[in-house]
Amino acid sequence: MRLWDLRIISPRGGELRPLGANPTAVTWWAWTWLPWDGTAMARSGQRFMPRAIREASIWYGWARAPFVASGELKMVDYGDVLFHPGNLWDYLEQTEKAVTGILESGVSVFACGGDRSIPLPVVRAYGKRLGGKLSLIHFDAHSDAYAELYPYPTGGTWVNELTDEGWVDGGRSVTLGVRPTREFGKADVFHQLGSEMILDHGPVWAAERTLEIVGDNRVYITFDPDFLDASQAPAVHTPEPLGPDMRFVIKYFNALMARD
C-alpha cells in the first residue's frame, strides 16, 4: 500500500504526513495522539505528552539508530484525536471511533497519550475489529487491575474493564515491571513478571517467558513509562524506583523479534 492509497482522513481534515516509508515494511502505522489526562489520580499534565514526543523526536530522526521507528516502518501522523477537554465519555467515544476508522482502512495504530486510561478505548476498537480476545503485553510499575476506585473508568482500573468486557484474555496476558509496593485489588488478572524477577533473570528470559504466556494469540502492547526506573523517567504520573532502564527494553524487544 502506498501513502496515496491510504483512506484515512486527518481529524483536522489535513493531508497525512509520512514519517517513514521503509520499502521492506509490510504494514502502515498511524501515530494517533490522545492529549488526555482527565483520569489522572495524582500528577496531571499527560495531555502535553503528544507535543513533547513530537519535539523530542527531532533529536533522534536524523540518527537512524536501531530504535528510531521512522527508519524501520511505514508511518503517518494521524494527528490529535479531537474530543471535548475534560469530558471522559466524549474522550472514550471519539478515541474508539478514530481508532476504528484507522483500522478499517487497513492501517495499524500507535496510540500515544495521555494518562493510563488510553488502552481502554483503543483495545475496545481492536477487539471489535478483530472479533475476539487479545493478549496484552503490559509494561507498568502497577497492575492497573485495582478494585473500583471511582464510579467511572480510570488509569488504575482499565485492565479489569477490558477483561470483564471480554476484549482481553487475562490468562494469556502479562504485566512486566510491577514493583513490590502498594498493589491491591485484582492484581492477578494478568500473569505478573515483577521488576525484581525480570532484573534478576534479564531481558532475554523475560521475552521468552512472555512468549510462553501469550502463545499464538494476537497481541496488543501497552507501555507505561513508569515501568522504567524513576531515575530514567522522573516526570511520569507515578515514578517508581527499582525498575529497568531503556537498555533493558531494547534488549527485550530484540529478543522478542528474534523469536518471530
Asked if residue 168 belongs to a domain, the reply is yes
Backbone angles phi, psi at 118, to 5 degrees: -65, -25
The rounded distance, in Å, linking the Cα atoms of 247 and 220 is 22
Residue 6 structural domain: 1-115
The reply to whether 65 and 26 lie within a common domain is yes
The C-alpha cell that represents 218 in the structure block = 494476537
Same domain assignment for residues 40 and 84: yes
Question: What are the Cα distances from residue 190, in Å, to 118, 162, 171, 176?
Answer: 18, 12, 6, 10
Residues 141 and 243 in one domain: yes
The distance from CA 129 to its chain's CA centroid, rounded to whole angstroms, is 18
Examine the domain organization and report whether 63 and 137 are in the same domain: no
**Which residue from 154, 143, 214, 136 is spatially nearest to 177, judged by alpha carbons?**
143
Query: How does pLDDT run across 193-215, given as a tens digit for each residue?
Result: 999 999 999 999 999 999 999 99
Assess if residue 120 is contained within a domain.
Answer: no
Alpha helices (runs of H) in 108-202, residue ranges in sequence order: 119-130, 158-165, 195-201
* The pLDDT value given to residue 189: 82
Total structural domains within the chain:
2
Asked if 37 and 80 sit in the same domain, the reply is yes
End position of a domain, from candidates 90, 115, 140: 115
Q: Looking at the structure, do residues 145 and 196 belong to the same domain, yes or no?
A: yes
Looking at per-residue confidence, does 22 or 46 come out higher? 46
Of 85, 115, 145, which closes a domain? 115
Task: Tell me if 122 is assigned to some domain.
Answer: no
> Is 78 a domain residue?
yes
pTM for the structure as a whole: 0.88
Q: Which of 56-60, 65-69, 167-171 has maximum average pLDDT?
A: 167-171
Measure the CA–CA gap between 45 and 105, rounded to whole angstroms.
32
Question: Of the residues 57, 85, 115, which one is the last residue of a structural domain?
Answer: 115
* Same-domain pairing of 43 and 163: no
Q: What share of the chain is helix, strand, coil (3-state, %, to 5)?
A: 35, 15, 45
110 and 148 share one domain: no
pLDDT, tens digit, 9 for 90 and up, residues 211-236: 999 999 999 999 999 999 999 999 88
CATH number of 217's domain = 3.40.800.10
17 in a structural domain: yes
* Sequence-distant (≥ 6) Cβ neighbours of residue 1 within 8 angstroms: 28, 74, 106
Q: Kindly state whether residues 72 and 142 are assigned to the same domain.
A: no
Residue 126 lies in a domain: no
Q: Do 187 and 91 share a domain, yes or no?
A: no
Residue with cell 478505548: 121
Domain membership flag for residue 50: yes
Does residue 259 sit in the same domain as residue 162? yes
CA angle (165 as vertex; 164, 168 as ends), nearest 5? 80
Residues 64 and 137 in one domain: no
Q: Is residue 48 part of a domain?
A: yes
What gap in Å lies between CA 94 and CA 81, rounded to an integer?
Answer: 7
Asked if 159 contacts 190 with a C-beta cutoff of 8 angstroms, the reply is: yes
Q: How confident is the model at residue 259 (pLDDT cuts 50, 70, 90)?
A: confident
Cα 56 → chain centroid: 18
For the chain, strand residue ranges (E) read 17-21, 28-34, 74-80, 108-113, 135-139, 174-176, 191-193, 219-223
- Could you tell me if 226 and 144 are in contact, meaning their C-beta atoms sit under 8 angstroms apart? no
**What are 208's three cell numbers?**
521468552
Work out the average pLDDT over 242-257: 94
